[in-house]
Structure 1
Amino acid sequence: MREFHKLGNVVKWPVKSNKPKANPDSKLWCDFHGYYGHRAHDCVALRREIQTLIKKGNLSEFTKHSTHDRREQTPARQPPPPPHHKVISFIAGWSDVCGATYSQAKRIARDANLHVTQANVQVNNITRVYFDEQDKGTKREPQYDSLVISIPIENCLIKRVLVDNGSAENIMMLTTLKQMGLAESDMLKRTTTLVGFSGETKRTMGEIALPIYAQGVNLLQKFVIIDYDSTYNIIHGRPWIHDLKVIPSTYHQVIKFSTPWGVQEIHGDQATARECYKTCLKSSIIREESKKPVIAVSGPEKLVEVDLSTGDKRVLMGEDLSPTIESNLVDFLTSRLDDFAWEHERK
């Protein structure tokens, strides 16, 4: 209270009460009001006045330590993105968590009901991530587009990256790896089998770990490499989504995730997503056409005139016919001469 008296009229002192002091021996004395009834550290009016004085810049000698603590808790600024040296314009598989074989996957699925963990976080430290209609922006409607983004990987800006929470692996096409300036020798020769929705399988060529830069967050991720002519350069599966704690929304065409400097967003490219979908459909039609059996068609055969048994009728037959077939055809036509129009009558 001595500091309050030093401030003088800066402090908004409460109006003194004219009522007689009751129970002067009571310990419930408030220095701020100057009468009995409650203690100073329980005085609500005193707390409000202290907050007001701090906002005005007073009592700074008592707030230096707390201000320093707040500065230490202030999130650092988002680091700048790495330079891009290059711009590179539903699959399931094994993972380190879900197992590489059927028996491992079966055991993990059985144990899933036995081991339940609870996140060890404080509610006050949770950054809330939410979506609203403003996140949609100027999207074309109606839309059922997939979520396709562009993201820096290993100092290359990779476009046509599909965010797919139905994929158990991060997948990179072999052509993308080569366009990034990497070679097959940079891969770890560890192959496995990817299983698609309809049961089709695809063997991987190996795997490679590369850093992914997402709005200030550098995250090292493993990619499996496949030699496949895909419309996408890369597929970001559940490993990247879960490790970065990404929340994707195809409806809003955006992904959001928490960082030390707040909630960050990466918006999808709706036009690229539709172009990829169109290319994917065209490729599937070409593959279906290539599976159809091809009927060999030879050029026109040489014909020769053949006399029928009547002597005045002639027909053209292929010269490559065997004598037996030719004889049978002559007998057939001779027996049915009246069934054919041999001459054209003009009216």
Structure 2
Amino acid sequence: MSFNEEDARGVKQPHNDPLVITLTIEGFNTKRILVDNGSSTDNMHLPAFQHLKLDPGRLCPFDSPLVNFNGDRVYPKGIVTLKVTVGTYPRQLTRQMDFLVVDCPSSYNVIIGRPTLNRWKAATSTYCLKVKFPIEDGVGEVKGDQVLARECYQVVLATKENHTWTIEEENEDKVKALEAVELVKGETAKMTRIGTTLSPEMRTKLIQFLRENLDVFAWIHEDMPGISPKVIQHKLNVDPGRNPIQQRQ
């Protein structure tokens, strides 16, 4: 999959518009869908869920809150699996997708994040305002609506709306449930964490076991000799025909 100037035809340049597309969700054409590579969740806002006339009984419980970079939290109403079609016939893709249904103000109906983009194996271009995805016999695509994107973005600016969310995987209680333990006395760099809920006897045995097996810990790169390049290696994308030159600092 690749993008060129032909893909940008019809897009008014220059621009910094978001990528807003239309998808078919449960058989209904659904507009105002933001493609957000920064979001680790796929969200559907409650009014869109209600306008699609979906049965609330399809919502499954979801206990973890969503947080954004401002630290704002919102608890989803639940998670729902819906049939989503992207692209136009015959170059389209239909998949069952999971959406977190959230009740908070938004100028968008749906936020498509990395889970769906990865499921589609999609590539996005904000310059071309287009999403491309592989299908069995080629490549499908869906083009963004620049006019609608600008309308939505004006609302975002006016309301300081947040739309990039991530699932809160760790809370303060979990952090407090761990304590740092020095495995080598006097060397603060060689520490690990163990649970604070262990019994005194189990805690003593665990620390003793960890200290007796210090050789399995890798504190620095030199502690990991003999790793096969088949496992992992770092490469520089440089022209092998060029001689390396050390530049002045």
TM-score bucket of the superposed structures, by smaller chain: 0.5 to 0.7
Residue type of the alignment partner of 1:151: L
Residue type of the alignment partner of 2:70: S
Contact 1:154–1:210, Cα closer than 8 Å, also in 2: yes
Contact 1:191–1:207, Cα closer than 8 Å, also in 2: no
**Matches of 1:271 and 1:143 in 2, distance apart?**
12
Match of 1:172 among 32, 44, 53: 44
- CA drift at 1:183: 3.3
Equivalent position SS for 1:138: coil
Stretch deviating more after TM superposition (165-174 or 212-221): 212-221
Does 1:239 find its partner at 2:115? Answer: yes
Residue 131 of structure 1 corresponds to 3
Q: Aligned-pair RMSD on alpha carbons?
A: 1.3
**Matches of 1:221 and 1:159 in 2, distance apart?**
17
Equivalent position SS for 1:278: helix
Match of 1:270 among 146, 168, 174: 146
Residue type of the alignment partner of 2:151: E
**Matches of 1:237 and 1:206 in 2, distance apart?**
17
Residue 225 of structure 1 corresponds to 101
Residue type of the alignment partner of 2:23: I
**Matches of 1:208 and 1:191 in 2, distance apart?**
14
Q: How many residues align?
A: 157
Residue 214 of structure 1 corresponds to 86
Structure 2 regions of 5+ residues with no counterpart?
Answer: 162-249
Please state which structure has a larger fraction of its residues in helix. 1
Structure whose alpha-carbon radius of gyration is higher: 1
Match of 2:125 among 249, 253, 258: 249
Residue 143 of structure 1 corresponds to 15
The TM-score with structure 2 as length reference comes to 0.61
**Matches of 1:144 and 1:137 in 2, distance apart?**
16
Please state which structure has a larger fraction of its residues in strand. 2
Equivalent position SS for 2:61: coil
Equivalent position SS for 2:148: helix
Residue type of the alignment partner of 1:268: G
Residue type of the alignment partner of 2:126: T
- CA drift at 1:247: 0.3
Tell me: higher relative CO, structure 1 or 2? Use CA pairs within 8 A at least 6 residues apart.
2
Contact 1:191–1:205, Cα closer than 8 Å, also in 2: no
| Structure 1 residues 156 and 191: CA distance shift in structure 2, 3 A | farther
Does 1:195 find its partner at 2:67? Answer: yes
Structure 1 regions of 5+ residues with no counterpart?
Answer: 1-128, 286-347
Residue type of the alignment partner of 1:282: A
- CA drift at 1:185: 2.3
Residue type of the alignment partner of 2:11: K
**Matches of 1:206 and 1:195 in 2, distance apart?**
15
**Matches of 2:112 and 2:121 in 1, distance apart?**
13
Write out per-residue CA displacement over residues 100-119 of structure 1, whole angstroms, 9 at most, x where no aligned residue. Answer: xxxxxxxxxxxxxxxxxxxx
Write out per-residue CA displacement over residues 278-321 of structure 1, whole angstroms, 9 at most, x where no aligned residue. Answer: 11222239xxxxxxxxxxxxxxxxxxxxxxxxxxxxxxxxxxxx
Equivalent position SS for 2:154: helix
Where do 4+ consecutive residues of structure 1 move more than 6 Å? none
Equivalent position SS for 2:62: coil
Does 1:163 find its partner at 2:39? Answer: no
Residue 183 of structure 1 corresponds to 55
**Matches of 2:160 and 2:130 in 1, distance apart?**
28
Equivalent position SS for 1:144: coil
- CA drift at 1:197: 1.5
Residue type of the alignment partner of 1:239: P
Residue type of the alignment partner of 1:189: P
